[in-house]
Amino acid sequence: MKYKIHKNMISIATLLLISLLTINIEKIQASTLKLTIQTNKSKFDFGETLVINGTLTSNGIPVNDALVAIQIVDSSDESLIYRTLNTGTNPQITWLIEILGVTPSDESGNPITSFKRGHHAYFKVSVKNNAGEPKYVYLTLTLFYQLSNETPFKAVVYYIGYVPTGITYFIPSVVIPDNAPLCTAKVYANAYTNLPKDVGYAYCPEESATFIIIGSGASGSFAESIAENPVGEYVLTLNLPSNFLRVGNYTAYVSTIYRSTQAFAYATFGVVLVGDINEDSIVDIFDAVILSKASGSRPGDPNWNEKCDLNNDGIIDIFDAVKLAANAGKQAKT
């Protein structure tokens, strides 16, 4: 009798264990959110096109209505960009924190359409808190030159702290570089729970506006755009700056939340200043001199210098000199 009870108890315990395990497995499966990221290359020269893309799936099914927060940091942990893309369409939800708009402005917030290079550019950002209580928010701006592709030149976190309920206006400023091209530029305003690299996610879709960079007196116009991506995917294409970029390892972080589940991923890539043979952060005559000494050499030759084989084809020749010339005068940020 005793034995029988014992045996039944074991059976019951086993059943309980199996059912618990099953429930746990179902719970785990119900919350499988997978975010991927990849870059088009693993190593980039200054000015090259960087494409970051990836997919978001929930239990293997593409998610077409989520926001993906993106941050790229350089080898000194300085941010190159902050962006927020969707995976098809923006989620149809009420944002706890919502960026209503970003407007190029003067320091009082009055709209203006152009900024002089070397001067401060101001941006009036209206942020609405719909949460009914103060929310802790990271607010960022990223500025791009609109060249053949958008080329980032400034990324800043201008506010970290609580945002009260209702609408709050911020007027952050950045300095337009002295050497900025005279072109149309674009600003993106984002709001995150924390920085994407620290697994923060976007509170809401980003807002953007364009403006003109001028040498002296001119005007331009505003435009807004909404990013649309293929279903379950996000794609970000940009050109790396062609000058004053930091060399070394970069990391692109992506972070999202979907139905209360978070997902995070990152990819790394390298940036090199092709032609900076002596690694003094500038491509100049001293690099050309080193290259000329190795001219005509192949591996094994006494004057072979692997660092001069800029196109990696096993010979130092005119094609390497052409690559060096293409970057002549360019400097790496130090």
Q: Is 303 near Ca ion (CB under 5 A)?
A: no
Q: Is 233 near Ca ion (CB under 5 A)?
A: no
**What are the tokens at 298?**
């192949």
Contact assessment for residue 93 and residue 107, using Cβ atoms and an 8 Å cutoff: no
Tell me how far, at minimum, the Cβ of 329 lies from Ca ion, in Å: 11
Q: Is 287 near Ca ion (CB under 5 A)?
A: yes
Contact string (CB under 5 A) for Ca ion, positions 177-196, x = contact: --------------------
Mode of pairing for the β-strands spanning 114-116 and 207-214: parallel
**What are the tokens at 74?**
């350089």
Q: Is 320 near Ca ion (CB under 5 A)?
A: yes
Tell me how far, at minimum, the Cβ of 50 lies from Ca ion, in Å: 23
Cα 102 from Cα 185, distance rounded (Å): 14
Identify which of residues 233 and 276 has a Cβ nearer to Ca ion in the complex: 276
Contact assessment for residue 327 and residue 46, using Cβ atoms and an 8 Å cutoff: yes
Identify which of residues 164 and 314 has a Cβ nearer to Ca ion in the complex: 314
Q: Is 280 near Ca ion (CB under 5 A)?
A: yes
3-state secondary structure of 231: coil
Q: Is 45 near Ca ion (CB under 5 A)?
A: no
Binder among 311, 318, 322, 328 for Ca ion (CB under 5 A): 311
Helix, strand, coil shares of the chain, percent, nearest 5, are 15, 45, 40
Tell me how far, at minimum, the Cβ of 325 lies from Ca ion, in Å: 13
Q: Is 46 near Ca ion (CB under 5 A)?
A: no
279-286 contacts at long range (C-beta below 8 A, 24 or more positions apart): 281/247, 281/331, 281/332, 281/334, 282/329, 282/330, 282/331, 282/332, 283/324, 283/327, 283/328, 283/329, 283/330, 283/331, 284/328, 284/329
Tell me how far, at minimum, the Cβ of 267 lies from Ca ion, in Å: 29
**What are the tokens at 210?**
């364009």
Q: Is 98 near Ca ion (CB under 5 A)?
A: no
Contact string (CB under 5 A) for Ca ion, positions 237-276, x = contact: ---------------------------------------x
Identify which of residues 207 and 320 has a Cβ nearer to Ca ion in the complex: 320
Cα 218 from Cα 309, distance rounded (Å): 46
Identify which of residues 150 and 276 has a Cβ nearer to Ca ion in the complex: 276
Identify which of residues 212 and 294 has a Cβ nearer to Ca ion in the complex: 294
Q: Is 313 near Ca ion (CB under 5 A)?
A: yes
Tell me how far, at minimum, the Cβ of 333 lies from Ca ion, in Å: 14
Cα 194 from Cα 97, distance rounded (Å): 13
Binder among 245, 294, 309, 332 for Ca ion (CB under 5 A): 309
The beta-strand segments (E) located in the chain are 33-35, 38-39, 43-45, 49-58, 61-62, 67-73, 79-86, 97-105, 114-116, 120-129, 135-146, 150-163, 166-170, 173-175, 184-192, 207-214, 233-239, 248-258, 261-272
Identify which of residues 249 and 278 has a Cβ nearer to Ca ion in the complex: 278
Identify which of residues 26 and 280 has a Cβ nearer to Ca ion in the complex: 280
Identify which of residues 127 and 310 has a Cβ nearer to Ca ion in the complex: 310
- What is the binding site for Ca ion (CB under 5 A)? 276, 278, 280, 287, 309, 311, 313, 320
